Structure 1
Amino acid sequence: MSDLSRLEAIVDQLLHEAIQIDRQRKEAKYPLFDEQLFHCRSKLLTPCVKEIQHEISALRKERQAGKLLASRTQYICESIVAQIQAVQREIATQNIRKNEPRKKAGWRKPINELRQDLAKHKEWESRLAAMVRDKEMQLSRSATFAEQQSMQKEVLALEGRLTRCRSSLANIEKSINYSERGR
């Protein structure tokens, strides 16, 4: 069984589970995954799994046409594995999420706490941006292909964290604006 066939088998099983979960819980309030991980920005699991299937299919076609470079294969496979792991984590946490206490509709964080959160997130954003710059510099100085691959993974991970941090920052700023208008 080839590596692509193994990935296809895993993704077929994920698709079955995703369809069942989507039927039970319906659409989420926000997209389930970061846009760097999935292009589809779906609020359901099934389109995300179908995106993985599409990536595997495209990879197989490129390989059959003899147009696939080893470096590209490794990059795409790492991306597919990251997507599969993200969907698996989402599926695994379903029971936990069902039992999580829900916020009461009328409750809002006090504005002073929101401002403290904003300050913390701005500091984290600054640190993460600096870390991304440092890793990009290390990447540009990498001598071997293995070092470049390792640095690329670290840069991508840090960029994902930075994106999530900036998203949280925007949400906190919206909450502050909403609280200030409500007074």
Structure 2
Amino acid sequence: MKTALLLETLQNQLIRLRADAAPLMQHATLKPRFDRQLFRTRSTRMKDYLDEAQTHLDELRHAVEQEQREQVAWLAEHLVEQMTALQREIVAWPLRAWDSASPGTRKWQQKRLEHQDFERRLIEMKRSREQRLAATETLQEQQQLMREITALEERLRRCRNALEEIERVIERLTR
């Protein structure tokens, strides 16, 4: 009796998860969202994760019918972990709007933001090395800092070139 109630509760929770995830069902992400030990599927679609959880629930029902206690315990625990992870992902999904497999401008705008952040950090690193260079007295330290500044200038140049290319792509996509 208790087991039947627990199975029904799990099924109801899975139905609720499926309803909560309805807008995301076919949305594919750039990378899988879950650890391979939690979900076997290699898909990046929410629907496939929910389908796997449903399969585990069906396996749990079968193990209960066959009175396989160890299998029941493992499947129940694993299913609860899957459902908890799915719930967290559904709640966090709006925060991951940039992680879209669609080739739209959002992806390129995200790349632009990332590269602008890289550029800002490189400028800060270069400024820091230049300040240290001004305060350094030994020739060896000055030479080391000059090499670092030169390397940072090269990285900054490459970053700016990438930013220009990203801007061109965004411009083409928004025409």
Q: Would the alpha carbon gap of residues 78 and 106 (structure 1) be closer, same or farther in structure 2, given more than 3 Å must change? A: closer
Q: Would the alpha carbon gap of residues 81 and 96 (structure 1) be closer, same or farther in structure 2, given more than 3 Å must change? A: same
* 2:11 is aligned with 1:8: yes
Aligned-residue sequence identity (percent) comes to 24
Q: Which residue of structure 1 aligns with residue 85 of structure 2?
A: 86
Opposite residue 2 of structure 1, the aligned amino acid is L
- List alignment gaps of at least 5 residues for structure 1: 114-178
Q: Would the alpha carbon gap of residues 79 and 96 (structure 1) be closer, same or farther in structure 2, given more than 3 Å must change? A: same
Kindly provide the CA deviation profile for residues 131-159 of structure 1, in whole angstroms up to 9, marking residues without a partner as x: xxxxxxxxxxxxxxxxxxxxxxxxxxxxx
Cα distance in 2 between the residues matched to 1:106 and 1:96: 16
**Mapping 1:59-138, distance limit 5 Å:** 59-66=60-67, 68-69=68-69, 71-98=70-97, 102-104=110-112, 107=115, 109=118
For the Cα contact (< 8 Å) 2:32–2:44, is it kept in 1? yes
Matched residue of 1:93: which SS? Answer: helix
Q: Which residue of structure 2 aligns with residue 18 of structure 1?
A: 21
Cα distance in 2 between the residues matched to 1:44 and 1:11: 16
Opposite residue 75 of structure 2, the aligned amino acid is I
How far off is 1:78 after superposition?
1.1
How far off is 1:93 after superposition?
0.9
Cα distance in 1 between the residues matched to 2:55 and 2:98: 34
How far off is 1:15 after superposition?
1.6
Q: Which residue of structure 2 aligns with residue 31 of structure 1?
A: 32
How far off is 1:103 after superposition?
3.8
- List alignment gaps of at least 5 residues for structure 2: 100-108, 123-154, 159-175
For the Cα contact (< 8 Å) 1:40–1:47, is it kept in 2? yes
Opposite residue 91 of structure 1, the aligned amino acid is I
Q: Which residue of structure 1 aligns with residue 134 of structure 2?
A: none
Give me the TM-score of the superposition, normalised by structure 2. 0.53
Cα distance in 1 between the residues matched to 2:81 and 2:44: 18
For the Cα contact (< 8 Å) 1:32–1:42, is it kept in 2? no
Opposite residue 93 of structure 2, the aligned amino acid is Q
RMSD, aligned α-carbons: 3.1
Alignment size in residue pairs: 111
Q: Would the alpha carbon gap of residues 77 and 19 (structure 1) be closer, same or farther in structure 2, given more than 3 Å must change? A: same
For the Cα contact (< 8 Å) 1:22–1:44, is it kept in 2? yes
Matched residue of 2:110: which SS? Answer: coil
For the Cα contact (< 8 Å) 1:32–1:44, is it kept in 2? no
How far off is 1:104 after superposition?
1.6
Cα distance in 1 between the residues matched to 2:56 and 2:114: 43
Give me the TM-score of the superposition, normalised by structure 1. 0.51
